[in-house]
């Protein structure tokens, strides 16, 4: 075990390297680029024994990962924003093909106008692709989640791809200390990938040919079961990691000072880290506020949110994304899962930080105050100015 | 090799859903006989994606990955990379794509895969249309041909993809035609000894798409070559050379048949002959064939 101080992107690259993928296919895009540069260096220096395919687009990056994963090897890629959007078709393909690909996505706004700062609309736009989605709030969490993700998705009860999101610049380009285990320990935690099926000349199968409605319907159902199964496995893997390596960030969610809370903040990604500071500050003033940080957006932590709403019926949901024409994705899904299950739940949606607009703990304190003072509506666009 | 000496093993099995007289199954059958069992196929959206039969059945007896329309070459890059890591580089990584998936939507991925020197064989079966979606024009559709999106005949000449591929300095590129299985077989065999990206394009006369009777596929391909409308060549080690009848045409030993002999048999060109002969467009086709030949002869003399 050693402590390394590095940016979220280099930490992501290091985690990917230690997970030992055999094929990496990726394309540069700000603010993700240093992840693939990091990987390229590991491969060139023989620190990672992988084929690094310098594809000509993100669509091809995901297609190449699909081809490689279908041939039975562990794969990795990373992207952001427009790159993720270009992949969209192949994200569905990877999930329907049940290939356990792991990808980092550095959350970044979508143009026009060109904006390279943090915004979660890129990944939220992929929420129905069947991928597991994790949102990280520290570089340590990025490291741990990348390696954990392989163990989760390669479990035969899951076999779906996973996307690990980290905020553009806020984590991707900020250096923080991270505890890095020995390779040997990671190898013990994450054994080599044993594919359930592969393109094999001795057992020829055709993958992805025409499928009629009855069978297609079952395939979709099985994907849903896999997402449901992953809940338990995410928890088990997080626990195992904590026992082995000592770091822990929660499982599907992380609860922070919620026990006696009268108002609970729901947030994802780096805003989750900022919210912890806000909680501490507000509590100093005697107000009982807690945080339910959403780590997994898919599978959606329904049970955890319902459980929390039963204890504390005031939920302040912060979304760094907007489903234009409705509201923030987390707020909308929170409302949907509470409807008819927790009668008296009050959900206050806050849209904040789009296009990289700062969301500091002071802003979060102000949001809390608005709710406590009864000044918050159903959906607030915080800081429009 | 003569047809009678082809391996007896079949990899395109009965039960597939191709139209009678389909050039795709005809060509693929020969190609897989040449490649043998140690082959992984990648197939993008195209007719061949829908004729394999339906889940959970397949009529293809080699492992096959279906992939999105524009993604065949990049998926094959991933397969080739994985096989390298698994120490299984003796397996042939093969893309089998239509002209739409090659000339148009898949061109970027193909160009990238070739530029990266992917060790694979990319085969385009060129039926000169999008047949899967019901006969629309592609970049490979010839001038004046009817399709459902060029109802009065295509206004543009087809793209010369061969030259685009050659411009990538591939170790091997060739054209073929389903009507000459021995030639196709030999070309595929030849690629197996070459590392890096190999490209073969097979002219694939499609009865419903070209509007001719389904028992005439072979004849239609032969006529395309005999009239000079389709040129058989190989490009190897930086040299281009003609084969078969195209070689005889180039050497002046075979006088090409009039192109009308080929056009007239296809419903897609019927508007060039009825109600009266469209001399202007027929001459434009002839000029294009002549210019293409001149150009290729120059390439062959380099
Ligand atoms: C992204 C995308 N756009 C459009 C389609 C619809 N589509 C499927 S196959 C096809 C045409 C295929 O043409 P070609 O590659 O020439 O093969 P053929 O059908 O002639 O065998 C089209 C347009 C698709 N599957 N994916
Ligand atoms: S439309 Fe043409 S290419 Fe497609 S299956 Fe029928 S004959 Fe074959």
Chain A residue nearest residue B83, CA to CA: A71
pLDDT of residue B63: 98
Inter-chain CB proximity A59 and B74 less than 8 Å: yes
CA distance A84 to chain B (A): 16
The answer, yes or no, to whether residue A385 has pLDDT greater than 90, is no
- Report pLDDT for B302: 82
Q: Judge whether A165 and A134 are in contact, CB under 8 Å.
A: yes
Select A253-381's CATH number: 3.30.300.160, 1.20.1250.20, 3.40.50.920, 3.40.50.2000.
3.40.50.920
Structure tokens at B121: 């064989």
Q: Which two tokens stand for residue A84?
A: 């993720």
For the cut 90, the answer to whether the pLDDT of residue A136 exceeds it is yes
Q: So what's the architecture of A2-245 in CATH?
A: 3-Layer(aba) Sandwich (3.40)
pLDDT in tens, A228-256: 999 999 999 999 999 999 999 999 999 99
CA distances for B26 relative to A70, A296, A380, B184, angstroms: 27, 50, 64, 11
DSSP-derived pairing of the beta strands B92-98 and B64-66: unpaired
Quick check: pTM over 0.95?
yes
State how far the Cα of B125 lies from the Cα of A219, in Å rounded to an integer: 31
Q: What is the mean pLDDT of residues A125-143?
A: 98
pLDDT for res B201:
98
Please, what's the b/e burial string for A139-148 (b: 16 or more CB within 10 A of its CB; e: otherwise)? bbbbbbbbbb
Q: Could you tell me how many CB contacts below 8 A there are between chain A and chain B? A: 164
Is B106:B66 a contact under the CB 8 Å cutoff? no
DSSP state of A49: -
Please report, for chain A, the start and end positions of each structural domain, with discontinuous segments joined by +: 2-245, 253-381
Per-residue pLDDT, B140: 98
Residue A90 touches chain B, beta carbons under 8 Å: yes
Would you write out chain B's pLDDT as a tens digit for each of its 302 residues?
899 999 999 999 998 999 999 999 999 999 999 999 999 999 999 999 999 988 999 999 999 999 999 999 999 999 999 999 999 999 999 999 999 999 999 999 999 999 999 999 999 999 999 999 999 999 999 999 999 999 999 999 999 999 999 999 999 999 999 999 999 999 999 999 999 999 999 999 999 999 999 999 999 999 999 999 999 999 999 999 999 999 999 999 999 999 999 999 999 999 999 999 999 999 999 999 999 999 999 999 98
* Span B83-100, pLDDT tens digits: 999 999 999 999 999 999
Q: Which of B47, B53, B138, B216 has the most ligand 2 atoms within 8 A of CB, as the residue to mutate?
A: B47
Ligand 2 center–CA B234 separation, angstroms: 26
| Type and span of the H or E element at A348 | strand A346-351
Cα–Cα dist A366/A197, whole Å:
53
Domain count, chain B: 1
Q: What was the pLDDT predicted at B1?
A: 85
Burial of A375 (0-12, 13-18, 19+ CB in 10 A): exposed
The answer to whether residues A249 and A144 touch, using CB atoms and an 8 Å cutoff, is: yes
Chain B closest-CA separation from residue A11 CA (Å)? 25
pLDDT tens digits for range A287-297? 999 999 999 99
The tens digit of pLDDT for each residue in B258-273 reads 999 999 999 999 999 9
Phi-psi region of B237 (alpha: psi -120 to 50; beta: other; left: phi over 0): left
Interface mutation vs chain B, best among A20, A24, A52, A60, most B CBs within 10 Å? A60
* Residue B223 confidence (pLDDT): 98
- Which DSSP helix (H) or strand (E) runs through B261? helix B260-263
The residue-averaged pLDDT of A247-267 equals: 98
Test B74 with A73 for CB contact under 8 angstroms. no
Give chain A's mean pLDDT: 98
Report CB contact under 8 Å: B112, A71. Answer: no
- At A127, the pLDDT band (50, 70, 90 cuts) reads very high
Query: Residues A41, A26: contact at Cβ < 8 Å?
Result: no
Q: Determine how many CB atoms are found less than 10 A away from the CB of residue A358.
A: 13
- CB-based contact B201:B176 (threshold 8 Å): yes
Residue of B60, B76, B82 to mutate, interface with A, max A Cβ within 10 Å: B82
Cβ proximity of B147 and B136 under 8 Å: yes
Is residue A195 classed as helix, strand or coil in its secondary structure?
coil
Cis peptide before A299 (omega within 30 of 0): yes
ipTM of predicted complex = 0.97
pLDDT exceeding 90 applies to what percent of chain A? 100
Q: Ligand 2 mean position to B47 CA, how many Å?
A: 6
User: Does A280 score more than 90 pLDDT?
Assistant: yes
Residue B164, min C-alpha distance to chain A (Å): 17
pLDDT of residue B11: 97
Query: Which CATH number is B101's domain given?
Result: 3.40.50.970
- DSSP letter, residue A252: S
> Are A2-245 and A253-381 equal in CATH topology?
yes
pLDDT in tens, A141-183: 999 999 999 999 999 999 999 999 999 999 999 999 999 999 9
């Amino acid at each position: 075990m050693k402590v390394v101080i590095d940016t979220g992107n280099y930490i992501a690259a290091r985690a990917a390297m230690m997970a030992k993928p055999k094929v990496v296919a990726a394309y540069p895009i700000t603010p993700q680029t240093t992840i693939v540069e990091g990987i390229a260096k590991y491969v060139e220096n023989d620190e990672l024994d992988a084929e690094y395919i310098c594809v000509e687009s993100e669509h091809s990056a995901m297609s190449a990962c699909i081809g490689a994963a279908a041939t039975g090897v562990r794969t990795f890629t990373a992207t952001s924003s427009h790159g993720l959007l270009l992949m969209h078709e192949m994200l569905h393909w990877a999930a329907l093909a049940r290939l356990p690909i792991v990808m980092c996505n550095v959350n970044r706004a979508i143009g026009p106008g060109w904006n390279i700062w943090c915004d979660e609309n890129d990944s939220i736009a992929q929420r129905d692709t069947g991928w597991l989605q994790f949102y990280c709030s520290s570089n340590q969490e990025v490291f741990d989640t990348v390696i954990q993700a392989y163990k989760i998705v390669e479990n035969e009860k899951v076999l779906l791809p996973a996307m690990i999101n980290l905020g553009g610049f806020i984590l991707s380009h900020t250096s923080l200390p991270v505890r890095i285990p020995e390779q040997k320990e990671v190898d013990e935690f994450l054994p080599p990938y044993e594919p359930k099926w592969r393109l094999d000349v001795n057992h020829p199968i055709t993958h992805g040919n025409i499928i009629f409605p009855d069978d297609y319907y079952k395939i979709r159902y099985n994907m849903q079961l896999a997402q449901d199964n992953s809940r338990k496995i995410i928890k088990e893997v997080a626990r195992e990691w904590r026992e082995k390596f000592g770091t822990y960030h929660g499982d599907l969610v992380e609860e922070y000072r919620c026990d006696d809370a009268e108002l609970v903040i729901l947030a994802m990604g780096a805003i989750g880290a900022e919210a912890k500071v806000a909680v501490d500050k507000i509590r100093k003033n005697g107000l009982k506020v807690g945080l339910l940080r959403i780590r997994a957006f898919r599978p959606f932590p329904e049970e955890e949110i319902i459980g929390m709403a039963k204890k504390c019926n005031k939920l302040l949901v912060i979304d760094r994304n907007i489903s234009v024409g409705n509201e923030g994705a987390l707020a909308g899904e929170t409302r949907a899962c509470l409807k008819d299950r927790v009668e008296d739940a009050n959900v206050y949606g806050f849209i904040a930080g789009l296009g990289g607009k700062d969301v500091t703990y002071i802003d979060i304190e102000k949001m809390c105050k608005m709710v406590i003072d009864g000044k918050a509506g159903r959906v607030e666009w915080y800081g429009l100015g | 090799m003569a047809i009678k000496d082809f391996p007896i093993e079949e990899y395109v099995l009965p039960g597939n859903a191709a139209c009678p007289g389909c050039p795709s199954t005809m060509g693929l059958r020969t190609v897989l006989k040449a490649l043998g069992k140690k082959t992984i196929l990648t197939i993008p959206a195209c007719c061949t994606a829908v004729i394999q039969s339906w889940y959970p059945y397949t009529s293809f007896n080699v492992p096959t990955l279906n992939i999105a329309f524009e993604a065949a070459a990049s998926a094959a890059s991933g397969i080739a990379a994985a096989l390298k890591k698994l120490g299984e580089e003796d397996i042939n990584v093969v893309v089998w794509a239509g002209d739409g998936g090659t000339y148009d939507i898949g061109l970027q991925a193909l160009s990238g895969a070739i530029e990266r020197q992917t060790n694979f064989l990319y085969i385009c079966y060129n039926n000169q249309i999008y047949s899967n979606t019901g006969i629309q024009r592609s970049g490979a559709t010839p001038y004046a041909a009817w399709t459902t999106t060029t109802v009065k005949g295509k206004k543009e000449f087809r793209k010369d993809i061969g030259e685009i591929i050659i411009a990538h300095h591939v170790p091997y590129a060739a054209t073929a035609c389903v009507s000459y299985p021995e030639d196709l077989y030999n070309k595929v065999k030849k690629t197996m000894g070459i590392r890096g990206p190999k490209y073969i394009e097979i002219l694939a006369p499609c009865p419903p798409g070209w509007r001719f009777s389904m028992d005439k596929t072979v004849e239609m391909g032969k006529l395309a070559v005999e009239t000079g409308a389709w040129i058989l060549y190989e490009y190897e080690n930086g040299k281009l050379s003609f084969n078969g009848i195209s070689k005889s045409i180039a050497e002046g030993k075979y006088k090409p048949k009039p192109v009308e002999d080929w056009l007239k048999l296809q419903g897609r060109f019927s508007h060039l002959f009825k109600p009266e002969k469209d001399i202007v467009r027929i001459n434009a086709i002839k000029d294009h064939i002549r210019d293409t030949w001149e150009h290729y002869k120059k390439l062959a003399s380099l």
